[in-house]
A and B are shown apart, each in its own frame.
Chain A
Amino acid sequence: MARIIVVTSGKGGVGKTTTSAAIAMGLAKKGHKTAVIDFDVGLRNLDLIMGCERRVVYDFVNVINGEATLNQALIRDKNCNLLYILPASQTRDKDALSQEGVGRVLDELKKDFKYIVCDSPAGIEKGAHLAMYFADDAFVVTNPEVSSVRDSDRMLGILSSKSRRAEQNEEPINEFLLLTRYSPERVKLGEMLSVEDVQDILSLHLLGVIPESKSVLNASNSGTPVILDEKSDAGQAYADIVARYLGEERPHRFIDDKKGFFRNLFGGK
Protein backbone atom coordinates (compact mmCIF):
# COMPACT_ATOMS: atom_id res chain seq x y z
CA MET A 1 0.00 0.00 0.00
CA ALA A 2 1.27 3.41 -0.96
CA ARG A 3 1.61 6.00 1.79
CA ILE A 4 1.22 9.72 1.43
CA ILE A 5 3.50 11.81 3.64
CA VAL A 6 2.93 15.54 4.07
CA VAL A 7 5.81 17.73 5.21
CA THR A 8 4.15 20.69 6.86
CA SER A 9 4.68 23.39 9.47
CA GLY A 10 2.37 26.38 9.31
CA LYS A 11 5.29 28.78 9.68
CA GLY A 12 7.41 29.58 6.65
CA GLY A 13 11.13 29.02 6.15
CA VAL A 14 11.53 26.33 8.82
CA GLY A 15 12.97 23.67 6.49
CA LYS A 16 10.02 21.88 4.85
CA THR A 17 11.49 21.78 1.37
CA THR A 18 14.92 20.80 2.69
CA THR A 19 13.22 18.00 4.63
CA SER A 20 10.99 16.87 1.75
CA ALA A 21 13.97 16.54 -0.56
CA ALA A 22 16.05 14.72 2.05
CA ILE A 23 13.49 12.18 3.16
CA ALA A 24 12.23 11.49 -0.38
CA MET A 25 15.82 10.74 -1.38
CA GLY A 26 16.33 8.68 1.79
CA LEU A 27 13.27 6.53 1.14
CA ALA A 28 14.25 6.00 -2.49
CA LYS A 29 17.81 5.08 -1.47
CA LYS A 30 16.33 2.45 0.81
CA GLY A 31 14.77 0.84 -2.25
CA HIS A 32 11.27 2.33 -2.19
CA LYS A 33 9.89 3.93 -5.31
CA THR A 34 9.14 7.48 -4.19
CA ALA A 35 7.61 10.61 -5.69
CA VAL A 36 8.02 14.07 -4.20
CA ILE A 37 5.50 16.77 -5.10
CA ASP A 38 5.97 20.53 -4.81
CA PHE A 39 2.69 22.04 -3.58
CA ASP A 40 4.18 25.53 -3.38
CA VAL A 41 2.55 26.73 -6.59
CA GLY A 42 3.94 30.09 -7.63
CA LEU A 43 7.20 29.79 -5.71
CA ARG A 44 8.69 26.51 -6.92
CA ASN A 45 11.68 25.63 -4.78
CA LEU A 46 11.85 21.89 -4.69
CA ASP A 47 13.25 21.53 -8.19
CA LEU A 48 16.16 23.80 -7.23
CA ILE A 49 16.95 21.77 -4.11
CA MET A 50 16.72 18.58 -6.17
CA GLY A 51 18.87 20.12 -8.92
CA CYS A 52 16.38 19.41 -11.71
CA GLU A 53 15.16 22.94 -12.46
CA ARG A 54 16.51 22.89 -16.00
CA ARG A 55 14.59 19.74 -16.84
CA VAL A 56 11.14 21.05 -15.90
CA VAL A 57 8.80 20.95 -18.90
CA TYR A 58 5.38 20.23 -17.44
CA ASP A 59 4.26 20.70 -13.85
CA PHE A 60 1.65 19.64 -11.28
CA VAL A 61 -0.93 22.15 -12.54
CA ASN A 62 -0.54 20.94 -16.14
CA VAL A 63 -1.31 17.41 -14.98
CA ILE A 64 -4.34 18.51 -12.98
CA ASN A 65 -5.66 20.45 -15.96
CA GLY A 66 -5.10 17.51 -18.30
CA GLU A 67 -2.53 19.45 -20.34
CA ALA A 68 0.08 16.77 -19.70
CA THR A 69 0.12 13.20 -18.48
CA LEU A 70 1.70 12.31 -15.17
CA ASN A 71 4.47 10.45 -16.97
CA GLN A 72 5.30 13.53 -19.04
CA ALA A 73 5.53 15.73 -15.96
CA LEU A 74 7.42 13.45 -13.56
CA ILE A 75 11.18 14.05 -13.58
CA ARG A 76 13.46 11.15 -12.73
CA ASP A 77 16.12 12.14 -10.21
CA LYS A 78 19.69 12.25 -11.49
CA ASN A 79 21.11 10.46 -8.43
CA CYS A 80 18.54 7.79 -7.78
CA ASN A 81 16.35 6.08 -10.34
CA LEU A 82 13.63 5.20 -7.83
CA LEU A 83 12.97 8.88 -7.10
CA TYR A 84 10.70 11.14 -9.16
CA ILE A 85 9.89 14.82 -8.78
CA LEU A 86 6.60 16.47 -9.68
CA PRO A 87 7.46 20.17 -9.83
CA ALA A 88 5.19 23.12 -9.15
CA SER A 89 4.31 25.77 -11.65
CA GLN A 90 5.95 29.14 -11.33
CA THR A 91 3.44 30.98 -13.46
CA ARG A 92 0.22 30.05 -11.73
CA ASP A 93 -1.24 31.00 -8.40
CA LYS A 94 -2.41 28.72 -5.61
CA ASP A 95 -5.98 28.62 -6.87
CA ALA A 96 -4.84 26.51 -9.79
CA LEU A 97 -4.95 23.47 -7.48
CA SER A 98 -8.30 21.85 -6.74
CA GLN A 99 -9.08 19.17 -4.20
CA GLU A 100 -10.59 16.94 -6.84
CA GLY A 101 -7.59 17.42 -9.12
CA VAL A 102 -5.04 16.76 -6.40
CA GLY A 103 -6.96 13.65 -5.33
CA ARG A 104 -6.95 12.36 -8.89
CA VAL A 105 -3.18 12.83 -9.31
CA LEU A 106 -2.44 11.21 -5.93
CA ASP A 107 -4.65 8.24 -6.77
CA GLU A 108 -2.75 7.72 -9.98
CA LEU A 109 0.61 8.00 -8.21
CA LYS A 110 -0.49 5.50 -5.57
CA LYS A 111 -0.73 2.79 -8.20
CA ASP A 112 2.93 3.02 -9.00
CA PHE A 113 4.76 4.45 -5.97
CA LYS A 114 5.39 3.27 -2.43
CA TYR A 115 5.82 6.72 -0.88
CA ILE A 116 4.47 10.07 -2.03
CA VAL A 117 6.02 13.03 -0.25
CA CYS A 118 4.07 16.30 -0.37
CA ASP A 119 6.12 19.45 0.24
CA SER A 120 3.60 21.89 1.71
CA PRO A 121 3.74 25.64 1.26
CA ALA A 122 3.80 27.79 4.39
CA GLY A 123 0.60 29.06 6.00
CA ILE A 124 -2.70 27.36 6.60
CA GLU A 125 -4.47 28.43 3.42
CA LYS A 126 -5.54 26.47 0.39
CA GLY A 127 -2.12 25.21 -0.74
CA ALA A 128 -1.20 23.92 2.70
CA HIS A 129 -4.67 22.49 3.12
CA LEU A 130 -4.49 20.52 -0.12
CA ALA A 131 -0.97 19.27 0.68
CA MET A 132 -2.14 17.71 3.94
CA TYR A 133 -5.72 16.73 3.01
CA PHE A 134 -4.99 13.25 1.61
CA ALA A 135 -2.04 12.43 3.90
CA ASP A 136 -1.53 9.20 5.85
CA ASP A 137 1.50 10.49 7.76
CA ALA A 138 2.51 14.02 8.65
CA PHE A 139 6.04 15.23 9.32
CA VAL A 140 5.58 18.42 11.30
CA VAL A 141 8.72 20.51 10.81
CA THR A 142 9.34 22.80 13.74
CA ASN A 143 12.15 25.18 14.70
CA PRO A 144 12.97 25.51 18.39
CA GLU A 145 11.29 28.84 18.90
CA VAL A 146 7.93 29.84 20.32
CA SER A 147 6.23 31.10 17.14
CA SER A 148 7.17 28.04 15.13
CA VAL A 149 5.95 25.74 17.89
CA ARG A 150 2.67 27.60 18.09
CA ASP A 151 2.17 27.35 14.32
CA SER A 152 2.93 23.64 14.41
CA ASP A 153 0.33 23.20 17.12
CA ARG A 154 -2.16 25.02 14.94
CA MET A 155 -1.30 22.80 12.00
CA LEU A 156 -1.75 19.69 14.17
CA GLY A 157 -5.25 20.89 14.98
CA ILE A 158 -5.97 21.21 11.27
CA LEU A 159 -4.55 17.74 10.55
CA SER A 160 -6.80 16.20 13.16
CA SER A 161 -9.97 17.99 12.09
CA LYS A 162 -9.80 19.02 8.44
CA SER A 163 -8.03 16.12 6.71
CA ARG A 164 -9.77 13.49 4.62
CA ARG A 165 -9.15 10.92 7.34
CA ALA A 166 -10.76 13.19 9.93
CA GLU A 167 -13.72 14.02 7.73
CA GLN A 168 -14.39 10.38 6.95
CA ASN A 169 -13.89 9.22 10.54
CA GLU A 170 -10.96 7.01 9.60
CA GLU A 171 -7.82 6.32 11.61
CA PRO A 172 -6.22 9.71 12.23
CA ILE A 173 -3.07 10.83 10.41
CA ASN A 174 0.15 9.62 12.07
CA GLU A 175 1.86 12.77 13.29
CA PHE A 176 5.62 13.04 13.79
CA LEU A 177 7.75 15.87 15.09
CA LEU A 178 10.90 16.91 13.23
CA LEU A 179 12.82 19.54 15.13
CA THR A 180 15.10 21.33 12.68
CA ARG A 181 17.82 23.97 12.79
CA TYR A 182 18.59 22.87 16.33
CA SER A 183 21.61 24.34 18.03
CA PRO A 184 22.50 22.87 21.44
CA GLU A 185 24.78 25.84 22.15
CA ARG A 186 21.99 28.33 21.64
CA VAL A 187 19.68 26.19 23.75
CA LYS A 188 22.26 26.36 26.52
CA LEU A 189 22.41 30.14 26.18
CA GLY A 190 18.63 30.26 26.52
CA GLU A 191 18.16 31.61 23.01
CA MET A 192 16.22 28.56 21.84
CA LEU A 193 13.74 26.09 23.23
CA SER A 194 15.14 22.68 24.10
CA VAL A 195 13.86 19.38 22.72
CA GLU A 196 12.09 18.74 26.03
CA ASP A 197 10.45 22.17 25.98
CA VAL A 198 9.06 21.58 22.50
CA GLN A 199 7.89 18.06 23.30
CA ASP A 200 6.28 19.30 26.47
CA ILE A 201 4.24 21.82 24.51
CA LEU A 202 3.36 19.68 21.51
CA SER A 203 3.31 16.20 23.08
CA LEU A 204 4.14 14.58 19.79
CA HIS A 205 6.28 11.61 18.79
CA LEU A 206 9.78 12.90 18.01
CA LEU A 207 11.10 11.39 14.80
CA GLY A 208 14.37 13.28 14.94
CA VAL A 209 16.36 16.43 15.52
CA ILE A 210 18.24 18.05 12.63
CA PRO A 211 21.03 20.36 13.74
CA GLU A 212 21.60 23.83 12.31
CA SER A 213 24.25 23.08 9.74
CA LYS A 214 26.18 24.76 6.97
CA SER A 215 25.94 21.57 4.98
CA VAL A 216 22.27 22.38 4.25
CA LEU A 217 23.18 25.55 2.37
CA ASN A 218 26.01 23.80 0.53
CA ALA A 219 23.63 21.03 -0.49
CA SER A 220 20.99 23.39 -1.82
CA ASN A 221 23.59 25.39 -3.72
CA SER A 222 24.75 22.23 -5.45
CA GLY A 223 21.24 20.91 -6.02
CA THR A 224 21.69 17.65 -4.11
CA PRO A 225 19.55 16.76 -1.09
CA VAL A 226 21.65 17.03 2.06
CA ILE A 227 21.03 13.38 2.95
CA LEU A 228 23.50 12.45 0.19
CA ASP A 229 26.22 14.29 2.11
CA GLU A 230 26.81 11.31 4.36
CA LYS A 231 29.60 12.96 6.31
CA SER A 232 27.51 15.94 7.37
CA ASP A 233 25.63 16.08 10.64
CA ALA A 234 22.39 17.19 8.96
CA GLY A 235 22.72 14.41 6.36
CA GLN A 236 23.15 11.81 9.11
CA ALA A 237 20.24 13.25 11.06
CA TYR A 238 17.96 12.88 8.04
CA ALA A 239 19.23 9.33 7.44
CA ASP A 240 18.31 8.50 11.04
CA ILE A 241 14.86 9.96 10.53
CA VAL A 242 14.20 7.87 7.42
CA ALA A 243 15.40 4.75 9.21
CA ARG A 244 13.19 5.44 12.24
CA TYR A 245 10.21 6.12 10.03
CA LEU A 246 10.78 2.73 8.39
CA GLY A 247 10.77 1.07 11.80
CA GLU A 248 14.46 0.87 12.74
CA GLU A 249 15.46 1.87 16.24
CA ARG A 250 18.19 4.45 16.38
CA PRO A 251 19.28 6.53 19.36
CA HIS A 252 18.66 10.25 19.05
CA ARG A 253 21.72 12.35 18.24
CA PHE A 254 22.55 16.04 17.98
CA ILE A 255 20.65 16.82 21.17
CA ASP A 256 22.14 18.37 24.22
CA ASP A 257 20.78 16.51 27.19
CA LYS A 258 21.03 19.44 29.56
CA LYS A 259 17.79 20.87 30.86
CA GLY A 260 16.40 23.74 28.82
CA PHE A 261 16.63 27.25 30.10
CA PHE A 262 12.94 27.90 29.48
CA ARG A 263 11.98 24.92 31.53
CA ASN A 264 14.05 26.20 34.46
CA LEU A 265 12.71 29.68 33.96
CA PHE A 266 9.11 28.56 34.02
CA GLY A 267 9.64 26.06 36.78
CA GLY A 268 8.89 22.89 34.83
CA LYS A 269 9.07 19.41 36.29
Chain B
Amino acid sequence: MSTDSKKSPNKLIALEFKTSTFSVPVLMLLTDDLISIEQQLKEKVNQAPDFFKNSPLVLDLQNINKLSSIINISALVGIIRKAGLLTVGLRGGNVEQNKQASELLIPVYSALSGSVLAENKKEKKSSPTPESKVDEKAGVIITTLITQPIRSGQRIYAEGDLIILSQVSAGAEIIAEGNIHVYNTLRGRALAGVQGNEDARIFCFDLQAELISIAGNYKVSEDLDKSVRNKPVQIYLQNEALIIKDIVQPH
Protein backbone atom coordinates (compact mmCIF):
# COMPACT_ATOMS: atom_id res chain seq x y z
CA MET B 1 0.00 0.00 0.00
CA SER B 2 1.78 3.12 -1.13
CA THR B 3 -0.48 5.78 0.24
CA ASP B 4 2.37 7.32 2.15
CA SER B 5 2.93 10.67 0.45
CA LYS B 6 6.38 10.96 1.95
CA LYS B 7 7.52 7.82 0.27
CA SER B 8 6.35 8.63 -3.24
CA PRO B 9 6.01 12.39 -3.48
CA ASN B 10 5.74 12.51 -7.28
CA LYS B 11 3.11 9.90 -7.83
CA LEU B 12 -0.35 11.28 -8.41
CA ILE B 13 -2.09 8.10 -9.44
CA ALA B 14 -2.01 5.59 -6.65
CA LEU B 15 -3.73 2.68 -8.31
CA GLU B 16 -5.51 1.36 -11.31
CA PHE B 17 -8.02 -1.47 -11.84
CA LYS B 18 -7.36 -4.03 -14.50
CA THR B 19 -9.07 -7.18 -15.56
CA SER B 20 -6.92 -10.20 -16.10
CA THR B 21 -7.48 -13.90 -16.26
CA PHE B 22 -5.91 -16.41 -13.98
CA SER B 23 -6.13 -20.11 -14.18
CA VAL B 24 -7.07 -21.57 -10.85
CA PRO B 25 -7.61 -25.22 -10.01
CA VAL B 26 -11.18 -26.22 -9.18
CA LEU B 27 -11.76 -28.77 -6.46
CA MET B 28 -14.81 -30.79 -7.43
CA LEU B 29 -16.26 -32.51 -4.39
CA LEU B 30 -17.91 -35.88 -4.85
CA THR B 31 -18.77 -36.61 -1.24
CA ASP B 32 -19.59 -34.67 1.92
CA ASP B 33 -17.44 -36.96 4.05
CA LEU B 34 -14.89 -34.52 5.49
CA ILE B 35 -12.61 -37.28 6.68
CA SER B 36 -12.21 -38.83 3.23
CA ILE B 37 -11.85 -35.38 1.71
CA GLU B 38 -9.10 -34.48 4.13
CA GLN B 39 -7.26 -37.75 3.60
CA GLN B 40 -7.44 -37.78 -0.20
CA LEU B 41 -6.54 -34.12 -0.43
CA LYS B 42 -3.46 -34.79 1.65
CA GLU B 43 -2.48 -37.66 -0.64
CA LYS B 44 -2.89 -35.49 -3.73
CA VAL B 45 -0.87 -32.63 -2.25
CA ASN B 46 1.89 -34.99 -1.18
CA GLN B 47 2.33 -36.06 -4.80
CA ALA B 48 3.36 -32.53 -5.78
CA PRO B 49 3.90 -30.47 -2.66
CA ASP B 50 5.65 -27.61 -4.44
CA PHE B 51 2.95 -27.25 -7.03
CA PHE B 52 0.19 -27.09 -4.43
CA LYS B 53 1.90 -24.98 -1.78
CA ASN B 54 -0.35 -21.94 -1.11
CA SER B 55 -2.07 -22.49 -4.43
CA PRO B 56 -5.43 -20.75 -4.79
CA LEU B 57 -8.39 -23.01 -5.32
CA VAL B 58 -12.09 -22.76 -6.17
CA LEU B 59 -14.48 -25.14 -4.47
CA ASP B 60 -17.18 -26.72 -6.62
CA LEU B 61 -20.19 -28.15 -4.78
CA GLN B 62 -22.43 -28.90 -7.79
CA ASN B 63 -22.05 -32.64 -7.51
CA ILE B 64 -22.56 -33.07 -3.82
CA ASN B 65 -25.57 -30.78 -3.88
CA LYS B 66 -27.28 -33.21 -6.25
CA LEU B 67 -27.11 -35.69 -3.38
CA SER B 68 -28.71 -33.25 -0.88
CA SER B 69 -25.58 -33.33 1.24
CA ILE B 70 -24.89 -31.25 4.29
CA ILE B 71 -21.43 -29.81 4.47
CA ASN B 72 -19.86 -27.30 6.81
CA ILE B 73 -18.08 -24.77 4.62
CA SER B 74 -15.99 -23.39 7.44
CA ALA B 75 -14.70 -26.87 8.36
CA LEU B 76 -14.07 -27.65 4.71
CA VAL B 77 -12.11 -24.45 4.15
CA GLY B 78 -10.12 -25.28 7.29
CA ILE B 79 -9.22 -28.70 5.90
CA ILE B 80 -8.13 -27.14 2.61
CA ARG B 81 -6.07 -24.56 4.45
CA LYS B 82 -4.47 -27.32 6.52
CA ALA B 83 -3.47 -29.06 3.31
CA GLY B 84 -1.66 -25.88 2.33
CA LEU B 85 -4.18 -24.56 -0.22
CA LEU B 86 -6.11 -21.29 -0.21
CA THR B 87 -9.81 -21.22 -1.01
CA VAL B 88 -10.51 -18.14 -3.16
CA GLY B 89 -13.99 -18.99 -4.37
CA LEU B 90 -17.04 -21.22 -4.17
CA ARG B 91 -19.33 -22.27 -6.97
CA GLY B 92 -22.36 -24.47 -7.33
CA GLY B 93 -23.30 -23.82 -3.70
CA ASN B 94 -26.83 -23.56 -2.31
CA VAL B 95 -28.17 -20.51 -0.47
CA GLU B 96 -26.91 -21.66 2.90
CA GLN B 97 -23.47 -22.63 1.59
CA ASN B 98 -23.13 -19.32 -0.24
CA LYS B 99 -24.04 -17.50 2.92
CA GLN B 100 -21.41 -19.40 4.88
CA ALA B 101 -18.83 -18.65 2.21
CA SER B 102 -19.69 -14.95 2.28
CA GLU B 103 -19.28 -14.92 6.03
CA LEU B 104 -15.81 -16.36 5.53
CA LEU B 105 -15.17 -13.59 2.97
CA ILE B 106 -14.90 -16.15 0.18
CA PRO B 107 -16.33 -14.92 -3.14
CA VAL B 108 -19.29 -16.87 -4.49
CA TYR B 109 -19.47 -17.73 -8.19
CA SER B 110 -22.45 -18.96 -10.16
CA ALA B 111 -22.49 -22.64 -11.04
CA LEU B 112 -21.61 -22.49 -14.72
CA SER B 113 -19.65 -19.41 -15.57
CA GLY B 114 -16.86 -17.98 -13.52
CA SER B 115 -18.81 -14.86 -12.71
CA VAL B 116 -19.37 -13.51 -9.26
CA LEU B 117 -22.97 -13.75 -8.07
CA ALA B 118 -24.69 -10.39 -7.93
CA GLU B 119 -25.74 -10.85 -4.35
CA ASN B 120 -22.20 -11.46 -3.31
CA LYS B 121 -20.99 -8.38 -5.11
CA LYS B 122 -23.50 -6.19 -3.34
CA GLU B 123 -22.31 -7.35 0.05
CA LYS B 124 -18.72 -6.56 -0.62
CA LYS B 125 -18.83 -2.96 -1.62
CA SER B 126 -15.12 -2.66 -1.17
CA SER B 127 -14.30 -5.43 -3.60
CA PRO B 128 -13.38 -3.80 -6.89
CA THR B 129 -15.19 -6.09 -9.30
CA PRO B 130 -16.07 -3.74 -12.15
CA GLU B 131 -17.77 -6.31 -14.31
CA SER B 132 -19.15 -9.76 -13.95
CA LYS B 133 -16.61 -11.60 -16.06
CA VAL B 134 -13.89 -11.21 -13.52
CA ASP B 135 -11.80 -14.13 -12.59
CA GLU B 136 -11.16 -15.21 -9.05
CA LYS B 137 -8.18 -13.21 -7.93
CA ALA B 138 -8.25 -10.42 -10.47
CA GLY B 139 -8.30 -7.09 -8.72
CA VAL B 140 -9.93 -8.51 -5.61
CA ILE B 141 -8.37 -7.46 -2.34
CA ILE B 142 -9.03 -10.25 0.08
CA THR B 143 -9.58 -8.84 3.54
CA THR B 144 -10.11 -10.88 6.65
CA LEU B 145 -12.04 -9.15 9.42
CA ILE B 146 -12.00 -10.55 12.94
CA THR B 147 -14.09 -9.21 15.80
CA GLN B 148 -13.34 -11.83 18.48
CA PRO B 149 -10.28 -11.65 20.74
CA ILE B 150 -7.35 -13.74 19.51
CA ARG B 151 -6.30 -15.75 22.53
CA SER B 152 -3.03 -17.36 23.56
CA GLY B 153 -2.38 -20.46 21.45
CA GLN B 154 -4.50 -19.25 18.52
CA ARG B 155 -3.06 -18.54 15.11
CA ILE B 156 -4.71 -16.57 12.33
CA TYR B 157 -3.48 -16.59 8.74
CA ALA B 158 -4.86 -14.11 6.20
CA GLU B 159 -4.16 -14.32 2.51
CA GLY B 160 -4.60 -10.59 2.11
CA ASP B 161 -5.07 -7.87 4.70
CA LEU B 162 -6.01 -8.72 8.24
CA ILE B 163 -8.18 -6.42 10.33
CA ILE B 164 -8.73 -7.24 13.99
CA LEU B 165 -11.08 -5.23 16.17
CA SER B 166 -10.34 -7.05 19.44
CA GLN B 167 -7.22 -7.62 21.41
CA VAL B 168 -4.49 -10.05 20.42
CA SER B 169 -3.26 -11.87 23.53
CA ALA B 170 0.29 -12.75 24.45
CA GLY B 171 0.96 -16.19 23.02
CA ALA B 172 -1.27 -15.61 19.99
CA GLU B 173 0.03 -15.24 16.45
CA ILE B 174 -1.48 -13.20 13.61
CA ILE B 175 -0.06 -13.57 10.12
CA ALA B 176 -0.97 -11.84 6.88
CA GLU B 177 0.35 -11.74 3.36
CA GLY B 178 -0.80 -8.11 3.31
CA ASN B 179 -1.19 -5.47 6.01
CA ILE B 180 -2.25 -6.02 9.59
CA HIS B 181 -4.52 -3.63 11.48
CA VAL B 182 -5.26 -4.18 15.16
CA TYR B 183 -7.70 -1.66 16.60
CA ASN B 184 -6.95 -2.77 20.12
CA THR B 185 -4.03 -4.00 22.22
CA LEU B 186 -1.46 -6.11 20.39
CA ARG B 187 0.34 -8.36 22.86
CA GLY B 188 1.08 -11.39 20.71
CA ARG B 189 3.14 -11.90 17.57
CA ALA B 190 2.24 -10.05 14.37
CA LEU B 191 3.79 -10.94 11.00
CA ALA B 192 2.80 -8.92 7.93
CA GLY B 193 3.89 -9.43 4.32
CA VAL B 194 4.87 -13.02 5.03
CA GLN B 195 5.07 -13.88 1.32
CA GLY B 196 7.71 -11.21 0.88
CA ASN B 197 5.62 -8.06 0.44
CA GLU B 198 7.98 -5.38 1.73
CA ASP B 199 5.31 -2.67 1.42
CA ALA B 200 3.11 -4.35 4.00
CA ARG B 201 2.54 -2.49 7.24
CA ILE B 202 1.34 -3.19 10.73
CA PHE B 203 -0.97 -0.72 12.44
CA CYS B 204 -1.99 -1.14 16.03
CA PHE B 205 -3.77 0.77 18.70
CA ASP B 206 -1.57 -0.21 21.62
CA LEU B 207 1.80 -1.82 20.96
CA GLN B 208 2.85 -4.42 23.52
CA ALA B 209 3.79 -7.10 21.00
CA GLU B 210 6.02 -10.09 21.65
CA LEU B 211 7.24 -9.93 18.07
CA ILE B 212 6.59 -7.81 14.99
CA SER B 213 7.75 -8.74 11.53
CA ILE B 214 7.40 -7.40 8.00
CA ALA B 215 8.53 -9.58 5.10
CA GLY B 216 10.78 -11.51 7.46
CA ASN B 217 12.41 -8.49 9.12
CA TYR B 218 11.53 -8.71 12.75
CA LYS B 219 11.91 -7.20 16.20
CA VAL B 220 11.19 -8.96 19.46
CA SER B 221 9.67 -7.36 22.51
CA GLU B 222 13.06 -6.61 24.06
CA ASP B 223 14.06 -4.56 21.02
CA LEU B 224 11.05 -2.27 21.31
CA ASP B 225 11.94 1.12 22.65
CA LYS B 226 9.89 2.52 25.53
CA SER B 227 8.95 5.47 23.37
CA VAL B 228 6.89 3.29 21.02
CA ARG B 229 5.22 1.04 23.56
CA ASN B 230 1.64 1.31 24.82
CA LYS B 231 0.51 3.65 22.09
CA PRO B 232 -0.95 3.69 18.59
CA VAL B 233 1.81 3.07 16.07
CA GLN B 234 2.43 2.02 12.51
CA ILE B 235 5.30 -0.22 11.55
CA TYR B 236 6.85 -0.36 8.09
CA LEU B 237 10.01 -1.33 6.32
CA GLN B 238 12.58 1.13 5.07
CA ASN B 239 15.92 -0.06 3.72
CA GLU B 240 15.36 -3.40 5.38
CA ALA B 241 14.92 -1.76 8.75
CA LEU B 242 11.69 -1.77 10.70
CA ILE B 243 10.46 1.73 11.43
CA ILE B 244 7.97 2.20 14.26
CA LYS B 245 6.19 5.54 14.33
CA ASP B 246 3.23 7.16 16.01
CA ILE B 247 0.21 6.84 13.77
CA VAL B 248 -0.60 10.48 14.38
CA GLN B 249 2.22 12.46 12.84
CA PRO B 250 2.85 16.04 13.89
CA HIS B 251 2.54 18.45 10.95
Contacts and interface: CB of A to CB of B under 8 A. Distances in A.
A157 B152 contact: yes
Contacts of B100: 169
B153 A167 contact: no
B230 A153 contact: no
Interface in B72-105: 72, 74-75, 100
Contacts of A158: 151, 153
Interface in A134-184: 150, 153-154, 156-158, 160-161, 167-169, 172
B139 interface: no
Contacts of A167: 72, 75
Interface residues of B, number: 20
A267 interface: yes
Interface in A100-137: none
B81 to A, nearest CB: 14
Contacts of A154: 151-153, 171
B214 interface: no
A157 B153 contact: yes
Nearest to B230: A267
A201 B75 contact: no
Interface in B160-179: 166-167, 169-172
Contacts of A157: 150-154, 169, 172
B5 interface: no
A169 B100 CA distance: 9
A221 interface: no
A231 B230 CA distance: 43
The residue in B100, B149, B150 that gathers the most chain A C-beta atoms within 10 A of its C-beta is B149
A203 B149 contact: yes
Contacts of A150: 152, 170-171
A210 B15 CA distance: 58
B249 interface: no
A175 B75 CA distance: 23
Interface string B222-249: 0000000110000000000000000000
27 contacts: A150-B152, A150-B171, A153-B151, A153-B152, A153-B170, A153-B171, A154-B151, A154-B152, A154-B153, A156-B151, A157-B150, A157-B152, A157-B154, A157-B172, A158-B153, A160-B148, A160-B149, A160-B151, A161-B154, A168-B72, A169-B100, A172-B148, A201-B169, A203-B149, A203-B167, A267-B229, A267-B230
Interface of A: 150, 153-154, 156-158, 160-161, 167-169, 172, 201, 203, 267-268
Interface of B: 72, 74-75, 100, 148-154, 166-167, 169-172, 187, 229-230
